[in-house]
A and B are shown apart, each in its own frame.
Chain A
Amino acid sequence: MKLTPEEKDMLDGKYGEGVAAAMKIQVAMGETFEAECMVPITRAHVALSAQDADLWFVDKLLKLGAHCKVSPTVNPSIDLKYLNKHLFEIPKAGVDIVSATNEAYKKIGATLTFDCTPYLQQNVPGFGEVIAFSESSATPYVNSVFGARTNRESSQSALCAAITGLVPKYGLLLDENRKGEILVEVEAKVETDFDYQILGWCYPELYKGLEIPVFTGIKSRPTPAGFMNFGAQLNTSGAVSMYHIVGITPEAPTLEAAFGNNTIKHRVKITDQDLAATREKLCREPGKIDFAMFGCPHLTIDQVETIAKTVGERKFAVDFWVLTSSLTRELADRMGYLDVIQRAGGHIIADTCIDVPPCWQPYYGKNAVTDSPKCAYYNEIRGIKFKIRPLEEAVEAAILGEVLK
């Protein structure tokens, strides 16, 4: 890899050991992916996680004197105060790791947005902008929906990029690598936001390669939540960091534009039967539930509105949690949705992730409902059995205390 004299100095430690450590990882990655040089970034998003590996790495860089050159937005942590008041007294281990992580990120120069949907608010890139975004729903969204350019960074590599202000130029940063190779003909009916959850989970089960898929047969533009769901599941069930939808996403006005000079390497057909099979395998049987949880990724204001309108003046039979950004919570308050959800006995909590152990401990091993396969998948390790249903159905289940069908 060709480095400029200044980049060599960064690697050699002339800008401090922290910069050198970050640069060393980025150069090794650049060499793996045969990057010819480094290029500057204008934005970064780090999937902060308040988990052991995350804190260990930020701490290591801080001890080496690192500081972010491009201040990244960050993923949710835990609103300790809210959970303490409304759920349980969070064990000391949880309080310690959350507080230490938040403090470490503040110290290293991150902007503490605590939201996993930066592409909807606070950190929205433009077409062609070179950025370093980690977080599974964020990477496909910024690449596919906006046409910004990021590789599928890990939280660690995105933090390295924020520190150096650079990324190795490879993969999705290059024009030729943004073209499709896999044709996915969607014959199934895909209309609702929930349909995109299932389609997003289904495709990587049918084809495991990392090439960019080009979807045809999608009749109308997904909502922001639809796009969000689609990317989150594509990149959780598999590792899809970019896709095209012909006639909808900006780099795919036509099938020809989506494929460029590539030939179609593989064809996948997705029918109603395929989606039904994924749903059958993934979503679990009906039955009693102990709680309901939404917001993986953080819900949009439209989704919060859907919940409020569905519940109306009724009450939830089980604990009911909506996780979203602090801005969306504020907006929900202003719009009256927060009052509706609270009167029903539910919560809207900001800045918080579904998966920061041990902060949701009272629910471990329980049955629950959510609208998100990703939420269900990452909680398998905690023994939480999530039934996955469309948002409105899941809200009805929470009112009843049971998923009926």
Chain B
Amino acid sequence: MGAKFSCKRIAEGYAEGEIIISKDAVCYYLVEPETGLVVERNHDLEGRNIAGKILMMPSGKGSSVVQADGLFKLGRNQKSPLGMIIEHADPVLVSSALIFEVPLVHKVDPEFYKQIKDGDKIILNATEGWIEIL
């Protein structure tokens, strides 16, 4: 058992996997739908792959259409992130996560941010509102 932290559910679900941490807001349109590779120029995650990982980021960004379409296409190719942890919820990302059923939480215990490192294995239980660092 690792350290457990509280969070608040936005879109329900359970995910277990490696965390990938982005300092920049993410727009799913600039993630290659066939692979999950971030292709946005000058982005913190440029050249890294988010497929099958739990993505931690400050917030979503981008036009109201493209966030949903990006996430939908990744999902169809099974290259979505397994779950998302965000600091600032915005309606575009929230509705996309709800509609395409990707577990999403916010309001995470600040202690979590002190302990978590890129690449750590975690459990994200959005339904019950907790995260565990394994």
Contact residues of A with B, CB < 8 Å?
25, 28-29, 32-33, 47, 49, 51-54, 56-57, 75, 134-136, 139, 151-158, 160, 171, 204, 208-210, 235-239, 281, 374, 377-378, 380-381
Given A52-B73, A52-B76, A57-B68, 14 more contacts at CB 8 Å? Answer: A33-B91, A136-B62, A152-B91, A152-B92, A153-B91, A154-B65, A156-B96, A158-B64, A235-B63, A239-B60, A239-B90, A378-B66, A381-B29, A381-B32
> From residue A20, how far is it (CB to closest CB) to chain B in Å?
14
Closest to B92 in A: A154
Contacts of A238 in B (CB 8 A): 25, 61
Residue of B73, B92, B99, B106 near A57 (CB, 8 A) is: B99
Bound complex: CA A52 to CA B25 (Å):
23
Residue of B58, B59, B63, B95 near A157 (CB, 8 A) is: B95
Contacts of A57 in B (CB 8 A): 68, 99
Please state if B95 and A29 are interface contacts (CB–CB under 8 Å). Answer: yes
Q: Answer whether A157 and B72 are a contact pair too, CB < 8 Å, given A239-B61, A380-B30.
A: no
Bound complex: CA A238 to CA B96 (Å):
17
Please state if B64 and A152 are interface contacts (CB–CB under 8 Å). Answer: yes
Q: At the interface, yes or no: B69 with Cβ under 8 Å from chain A?
A: yes
Bound complex: CA A198 to CA B57 (Å):
25
Q: At the interface, yes or no: B98 with Cβ under 8 Å from chain A?
A: yes
Q: At the interface, yes or no: B40 with Cβ under 8 Å from chain A?
A: yes
Bound complex: CA A204 to CA B98 (Å):
26
Please state if A239 and B25 are interface contacts (CB–CB under 8 Å). Answer: yes
Please state if B30 and A381 are interface contacts (CB–CB under 8 Å). Answer: yes
Bound complex: CA A156 to CA B90 (Å):
14
> From residue B92, how far is it (CB to closest CB) to chain A in Å?
4
Contact residues of B with A, CB < 8 Å?
10-11, 24-25, 29-30, 32, 39-42, 58-69, 71-73, 76, 88-92, 94-96, 98-100, 106
Please state if B98 and A378 are interface contacts (CB–CB under 8 Å). Answer: no
25 contacts between A and B (CB under 8 A): A29-B91, A32-B10, A32-B94, A52-B72, A53-B69, A53-B100, A57-B68, A136-B62, A152-B64, A152-B92, A153-B92, A154-B65, A154-B68, A155-B65, A156-B99, A157-B91, A160-B95, A209-B88, A235-B63, A236-B63, A239-B59, A239-B60, A239-B62, A281-B42, A378-B63
> From residue A108, how far is it (CB to closest CB) to chain B in Å?
16
Q: Answer whether A56 and B72 are a contact pair too, CB < 8 Å, given A25-B98, A32-B94.
A: yes
Residue of A75, A208, A281, A377 near B25 (CB, 8 A) is: A208
Contacts of B106 in A (CB 8 A): 32
> From residue B73, how far is it (CB to closest CB) to chain A in Å?
6
> From residue B22, how far is it (CB to closest CB) to chain A in Å?
11
> From residue A171, how far is it (CB to closest CB) to chain B in Å?
7
Residue of A152, A204, A381 near B90 (CB, 8 A) is: A152
Bound complex: CA A160 to CA B68 (Å):
14
Please state if A154 and B89 are interface contacts (CB–CB under 8 Å). Answer: no
Nearest first, the 10 closest Cβ-Cβ pairs linking A and B are: A53-B72, A134-B64, A157-B95, A49-B65, A53-B69, A136-B63, A154-B92, A154-B95, A51-B69, A154-B64
> From residue B117, how far is it (CB to closest CB) to chain A in Å?
21
> From residue B82, how far is it (CB to closest CB) to chain A in Å?
19
Which of A52, A160, A239, A281 has the most C-beta atoms of chain B within 10 angstroms of its own C-beta? A239
Bound complex: CA A23 to CA B24 (Å):
32
Residue of A134, A155, A160, A236 near B62 (CB, 8 A) is: A236
Contacts of A135 in B (CB 8 A): 63-65
Bound complex: CA A61 to CA B25 (Å):
30
> From residue B69, how far is it (CB to closest CB) to chain A in Å?
4
Bound complex: CA A152 to CA B30 (Å):
20
Q: Answer whether A54 and B65 are a contact pair too, CB < 8 Å, given A25-B98, A381-B30.
A: yes
Bound complex: CA A75 to CA B66 (Å):
13
Contacts of A156 in B (CB 8 A): 68, 95-96, 99
Closest to A136 in B: B63
Closest to B62 in A: A236
Bound complex: CA A236 to CA B32 (Å):
18
> From residue A175, how far is it (CB to closest CB) to chain B in Å?
19
Closest to A57 in B: B99
Contacts of B98 in A (CB 8 A): 25, 28-29
> From residue A242, how far is it (CB to closest CB) to chain B in Å?
12
Residue of A28, A155, A210 near B68 (CB, 8 A) is: A155
Bound complex: CA A378 to CA B67 (Å):
11
Contacts of A374 in B (CB 8 A): 63
Q: Answer whether A136 and B71 are a contact pair too, CB < 8 Å, given A32-B89, A157-B91, A381-B30.
A: no
Contacts of A75 in B (CB 8 A): 65
> From residue B114, how far is it (CB to closest CB) to chain A in Å?
20
Please state if B88 and A47 are interface contacts (CB–CB under 8 Å). Answer: no
